[in-house]
Every structure is written in C-alpha cells, then in structure tokens.
Structure 1
Amino acid sequence: MLYRVIDRDDLPSLVAAFMERYEVIAPVKRGAGYVFSPVGSFDEICIDYPSTIASPKKYLLPPTETLFEFDAVENAVTDYTEEVRPRVLFGVHACDINGLMNLGSVFADPRYPDPYFQAHRGATLIVGVGCMPSEHCFCNLMDSEEARPGYDLFLTAIGERYLVSIGSVVGANILEGACDVREATDGDRIAFRAATRARQEAFNPAIPDIQEIPMLMDAFHEDAFWGELGERCLSCNACASVCPTCYCFDIRDTLDPGGVSGRRERVWDACTSPQFAMVAGGHNFRPTATERVRHRMYHKLNGFLATHDRSLCVGCGRCAAACKVDISPIEVLRFFERKGADDAC
C-alpha cells in the first residue's frame, strides 16, 4: 500500500478536484444527526462526524430501483436504463467501507452478477476517513475497524495533517494534482501509530468481546432469550433501514394511473417484516417476531460468515441507536457474556 501525507488545509482543494468530474456525496449535518448527501462545496462537509444515521449503501443499492417498464396493451417490455452518475463517496468510515465490500460479495458474485449494483459501484470512487468510535460502535469486535481494500483514498488525521493510504491509480492522480503531497516521515508514522492506539482505546469497554460467536449462536439457538427479544420487537424494520449490510429486496409491479403500463421495481425488504417469509398459499416460515429476530441475528453473526468467511455485521452500531426497544447485536453479545458467567458459576 502506498502512503502519502497532505495538510488539513489541502482538503478543500481535494474536494474541489473531485467536483470537476464527479458528484460528491459526503456527511452533512441534518438536525441532531448526520447524513450522507450531495454537497456543492467543502464547507458543507462535516469531516469529523461521529456516525451518520444511515450508511451510504443507498448510493449503490437504491431503496427503489426500476428494472424494466411494461405496456399491457402493446404486450411490450422495455429494459430500463438509469443514468448512472459518476460519484465520489467522501468521508466514509472504515466500517461502512467494509459494509460495501460485503454487499459486493453478494451483488458482484461472478456466478450471479447484479448489473445494477455493478453499474453503480463501477462509477463510484470511495474516499475513507478515520474516526473515533461512539458509544454504540463495536467494529473492533467484528474485524471492521480498518479498511484494507475497498477504497481509492483513505485519510487518517495526524494532528494538522492526514496520512493518506492510496488504493487506486485514479485516486492517486487526483490527489497528486490537487494537493501538496509529501512522503511520510518517521514522525508521521509515529503520529499515525499514536492515532491508531487512541482510537483502539476509545471503544466502549462495556460491549463484550465474545469469541466463537458462530458456535454460541448454534448452541443457544433454542434459548428463551430469543423469546424475550421477540416480545419486545416492534417489527418496524428500523434496524434494516439504517444497516449498511442488509441486502434483501422485494420485487413489485407498479402501475401507472391508466392501469395498462408500469414498471417492475426492486425495493428494500427486511427479514424482520412479518410478511418476509410468507410464500404462495399463505404459509409463513417465520410467523413470530421471535423467529424473525433470531434469524436476523443468526445471519448477521453466523450465516454470512459460513459462506464469505467474515461476519455480515460490521459493528457500526446504527441498529442499536435506531431500535426503540434496545434490540441489537450488542444485546446478543451481552447475552453470551452472561451465559459464560453462568457456566463459570
């Protein structure tokens, strides 16, 4: 990996260089929180934000996406081609970069490549930025606190400078053209190690580090704990709405007012929805909230791991902040910690 150093004052020039050819999506302040949104200048960007309400996933996997259009009178189907705008996702945290990598494992699988996701991903540059964890962050426990592949540039603040990790030729060329780029010195590397250590020490120690999570998910599959979560769950899907790695979708046909033409759309769906596992004939494979909550946690912490060799959950903590009844992977980790303490007794 190639590393360079730029001054903090170089960031406006870097963003301006991106804006010459790309739409720039970056974290901005919205009310009491932060969201990823198109920006028109560097002054709108909050580079040191704690976390956004939702991830930048929607720019690669839109909540609603037209697949094709149809006309019942003409008995015609027309491929729908959306204009894919070249974009830069600027200021993305490591957990979200890992989340986008997880989505790529699904939608860019060479056996079943998804052309819609691939079109968005191919037109998107990613500029990551280092962060300090908030109270709900546990990416360090999900091996997502660092972004290794998956970005074009990654910025880590070291005082009034940034150590820049370069991940692509395109990113390197724009960086070189926009900023006063320097080789990293020993002092820069020492400052980087200090920043990394400070970040590691800032994670919430009340979130337990549990080993062998997949084994524990299987061992306690029938525990009454899941019933307790199910009784609390509102089936509101807030967790899936903010999650950077939920990728389930439904297909629906939307008719125009005349009723003879329309479009087929892909829309976000969630396994916590009561209708998610319902099939033709009215049978529901997961009719209770208990089964749905357990399935969601199992997939996040175990099921994806078996296929892709990493956890689907990246520990961003958004679901913990969004859930009104305190259901999240953090509660599952605390449950396993309690079970360990019970066994020790």
Structure 2
Amino acid sequence: MRYVKLPKENTYEFLERLKNFGKLYAPVKISEKFYDFREIDDVRKVEFNYVRTIMPPKKFFFAPREKMFEFSISKGEYREVIPEVEPFVLFGVHSCDIYGLKILDSVYLDEYPDKYYKVRREKSIIIGISCMPDEYCFCNLLRTDFEHDGFDLFLHELPDGWLVRIGTPTGHRIVDKNIKLFTEVTQEDICNFREFERKRAQAFKYHEEWDNIHYLLELEMEHPLWEKEAEKCLACGICSTVCPTCRCYEVQDVVNLDGDTGYRERRWDSCKFRSHGLVAGGHNFRPTKKDRFINRYLCKMSFHWKLGINFCVGCGRCTAFCPAGIDFVKNIRTIVGLEELSCPPKLSEEIPKKGFAYAKNIRGEDI
C-alpha cells in the first residue's frame, strides 16, 4: 500500500479539488448535536471530528424510496427506470460505515447484481477518515474499527495533517493529479500515527470477546430481558433506518387514475414493522413486538462468513437515536451475562396495555 502525507494547511485545497472528480458530499453539522452527509458548496463547513452522522452512507446507494419500472396493463409491457447518476465523492466515511458498505455490496452486487444499487456504486469515490469513539461506539468488539480496503483514500489524523493510505487505482489518480499538495511520510508521522491509534483503542468503553455472541443469544431465547425491552420498544423502525447494514425493502405497485398505467416502487422496510413478517393468508412469522425485537438482535449478530464479521458494524446509531432509550450493547451484554438484569425475573402478564402499546409506527401500523 502507498502512503503519503497531506499537510493540514493543504486540507481545504484538497477538498476543493475533489470536486473535479464529482459532486462532493461530506459530514456537516446540521444542529447543536447532530451531523449528516450533505452536498458541499463551502469546504470549510466540512466536519472532520464528528463521531457519527444521523444517516449512514447507504442512503447514497440504496435509496429510501425509488421507482423501479413503469407499466401499462393494456399493452402488457413495462419500462425499467434506471437512475442517471453523476460521479460523486463521499468524503469523511468512518471505518465502520465502510464495512457497512461492503456488507451491502455482498447483498446487492455479488450473486444477483441490483441495477439500481450498482449504477450508484460504480459512480462513487469513497474517502475514509479516522475518528475517536464515544460512549456508544463498539466497533472494536466487532473488528470493524480499522478498515483494510473498501476505500479509495483513507485519512488518519496527525498533529499537523493527515497520513493518507491509498487503496485503489482511483485513489492513486487523485493523489497523482494533486501531488503538489502531498509530502513524504516521515518517521515522526509514523510515531504520531501509532500514538493516535493507541489512544483510540483505549478510548472505547468496552474491551471484551464477542466471537460467541450469536450463539449465546440463540441459547437465551427465553431470557426475561427480551420481554422487558420489547415492552419499551415503539416499533418505529428508526433503528433499521439509521443502521448501515439494514437493507430490507418492500415493493408496491401504484396505478394511475386511468386504471391502466402505473409504476412499481420500492421503499425501505423494517423487521420492527408488524407487516414485515406478514404473508399471504394472513399468517405472520413474527406477530408480536417481542418476536420482532429478538429477530433484530439475531440478525445483526449473525456472522457474515465471506467478510468474517457480523452484520452489525458497531456504529452505535441504533442506541444513540432510539426514542425509547433502548441500549443495544447493554442488552447484549446482559443476555450473555456481562451485566446484571435490572428488572423482576418475569414481567406480569396481567399488566394492561396502555400508553405506547397503542401507538403506531411511522407507517401508521398498530404495534
């Protein structure tokens, strides 16, 4: 792998020149606490020291809602609607989110390539950036805290700039066309890089072994925590929306007023929705919130054999943005015996349903 250094004084010039390779998107501060990837006009608005964006990079490749094809019933024909995508640069992607994109790639590109996803992925340039974890981060437990590939360039923070790893031929072209902005990496830079990685490793809240998590979850299907936490869950689907690796969608045919023409669209779905497990005949594979709650944990902790990681990348979004205050990591640690369960052994079945038990999710479905 090739390494170069980007001095701090050249950072904004580098960002400005990235626009020559496509539309530039990067993390910006959108409120007092929150960040998100947005199109960049003024490069000085780019945030380098953010922890997480509200939405993961998947929104650029797997659209929340998109038209798939148009049809005519009388003519018995349809026309695919493949999006026209301009080249774009996604700057400031953290390691866990790059792993998230690799998981999506394995779903949407490997065996049966998804045309809509593929055309966006082929037009993208990914530039990663290092970060310091907060109390919600646990990517170190899932071995997604340091990315080895899946990026064109990756910037690691130094006291006076950035150590840049070049990961692809596209990355080489970007550096070579702007070579005057870069310098050689010195021994001092290497020492600073090593020190940053040491501090970063120590900054994580938890340091333990999680290789057997999925199996322990399967063995504890009757753990009292499932019922306790499922009762708190609003079934709103936010955890799936902000997850870098959730990729479920549903399709719907929309018929125009003429009753003849229309289109098919797909939109993000969530295993937290009651309709997700509903099939023809009215049977539901996961009829209760508890069933759906357990399913999400088993899904995220499933092992991706090809990549050698779990389907959860440890970004912490599901906990940070949960309106019910459900702590994903704490629940896992409780179920596998790393934390005490702070509730009665079993919730009473006599407790009447009230409050949010009669709420509806973002689609208006009963939960």
TM-score for both structures, normalised by structure 2? 0.87
Counterpart of 2:269 in structure 1 is 269
5+ residue gaps in structure 2? 342-367
Counterpart of 1:87 in structure 2 is 88
- Aligned in 2, Cα 1:210/1:174: closer, same or farther, shift over 3 Å? closer
- Aligned in 2, Cα 1:203/1:289: closer, same or farther, shift over 3 Å? same
- Residue 76 of structure 1 and its aligned partner are, at CA, apart by 2.6
SS at match of 1:197: helix
Task: Supply the distance in 2 between the matched residues of 1:90 and 1:97 (Cα, whole angstroms).
Answer: 11
- Equivalent position amino acid for 1:276 in 2: H
Task: Supply the distance in 2 between the matched residues of 1:183 and 1:208 (Cα, whole angstroms).
Answer: 37
Query: In 1, are the aligned partners of 2:142 and 2:210 still within 8 Å (CA)?
Result: no
Counterpart of 1:9 in structure 2 is 9
SS at match of 1:276: helix
- 1:26-52: per-residue Cα shift (whole Å, max 9, x none)? 101111210111111312211221211
Counterpart of 2:152 in structure 1 is 152
- Aligned in 2, Cα 1:288/1:306: closer, same or farther, shift over 3 Å? farther
- Residue 165 of structure 1 and its aligned partner are, at CA, apart by 0.3
| Alignment: residue pair count | 339
1:305 paired to 2:299: no
Query: In 1, are the aligned partners of 2:14 and 2:181 still within 8 Å (CA)?
Result: no
TM-score for both structures, normalised by structure 1? 0.93
Taking the TM superposition and a 5 Å limit, the aligned residue runs for 1:1-345 are 1-32=1-32, 33-109=34-110, 111-178=111-178, 179-205=180-206, 209-302=209-302, 304-305=303-304, 309-338=308-337
SS at match of 1:91: strand
Task: Supply the distance in 2 between the matched residues of 1:337 and 1:244 (Cα, whole angstroms).
Answer: 24
- Aligned in 2, Cα 1:12/1:257: closer, same or farther, shift over 3 Å? farther
Please, what is the CA RMSD of the aligned residues? 1.9
Task: Supply the distance in 2 between the matched residues of 1:59 and 1:260 (Cα, whole angstroms).
Answer: 32
Query: In 2, are the aligned partners of 1:209 and 1:333 still within 8 Å (CA)?
Result: no
Task: Supply the distance in 2 between the matched residues of 1:307 and 1:283 (Cα, whole angstroms).
Answer: 33
SS at match of 1:62: coil
Task: Supply the distance in 2 between the matched residues of 1:153 and 1:102 (Cα, whole angstroms).
Answer: 19
- Equivalent position amino acid for 2:147 in 1: A
Q: Tell me which moved more, 28-37 or 252-261.
A: 252-261
- Residue 265 of structure 1 and its aligned partner are, at CA, apart by 1.1
Query: In 1, are the aligned partners of 2:27 and 2:35 still within 8 Å (CA)?
Result: yes
- 1:107-158: per-residue Cα shift (whole Å, max 9, x none)? 111x222122111111100000000112101111111101111000000111
SS at match of 1:189: helix
- Residue 243 of structure 1 and its aligned partner are, at CA, apart by 0.6
- Equivalent position amino acid for 2:46 in 1: I
- Aligned in 2, Cα 1:321/1:257: closer, same or farther, shift over 3 Å? farther
Task: Supply the distance in 1 between the matched residues of 2:30 and 2:311 (Cα, whole angstroms).
Answer: 28
- Equivalent position amino acid for 2:294 in 1: R
Task: Supply the distance in 1 between the matched residues of 2:114 and 2:131 (Cα, whole angstroms).
Answer: 31
Query: Sequence identity, in percent?
Result: 36
Query: In 2, are the aligned partners of 1:29 and 1:46 still within 8 Å (CA)?
Result: yes
- Aligned in 2, Cα 1:80/1:146: closer, same or farther, shift over 3 Å? same
- Equivalent position amino acid for 1:224 in 2: P
Query: In 1, are the aligned partners of 2:216 and 2:336 still within 8 Å (CA)?
Result: no
- Equivalent position amino acid for 1:332 in 2: N
- 1:216-242: per-residue Cα shift (whole Å, max 9, x none)? 122112322211222111110010111
Q: Tell me which moved more, 173-182 or 316-325.
A: 173-182
Task: Supply the distance in 2 between the matched residues of 1:269 and 1:322 (Cα, whole angstroms).
Answer: 18
5+ residue gaps in structure 1? none
Task: Supply the distance in 2 between the matched residues of 1:108 and 1:319 (Cα, whole angstroms).
Answer: 26
Task: Supply the distance in 2 between the matched residues of 1:281 and 1:105 (Cα, whole angstroms).
Answer: 32
- Residue 186 of structure 1 and its aligned partner are, at CA, apart by 1.2
- Equivalent position amino acid for 1:54 in 2: M
Counterpart of 2:362 in structure 1 is none
- Residue 167 of structure 1 and its aligned partner are, at CA, apart by 0.6
Task: Supply the distance in 1 between the matched residues of 2:182 and 2:308 (Cα, whole angstroms).
Answer: 37
- Residue 263 of structure 1 and its aligned partner are, at CA, apart by 1.4
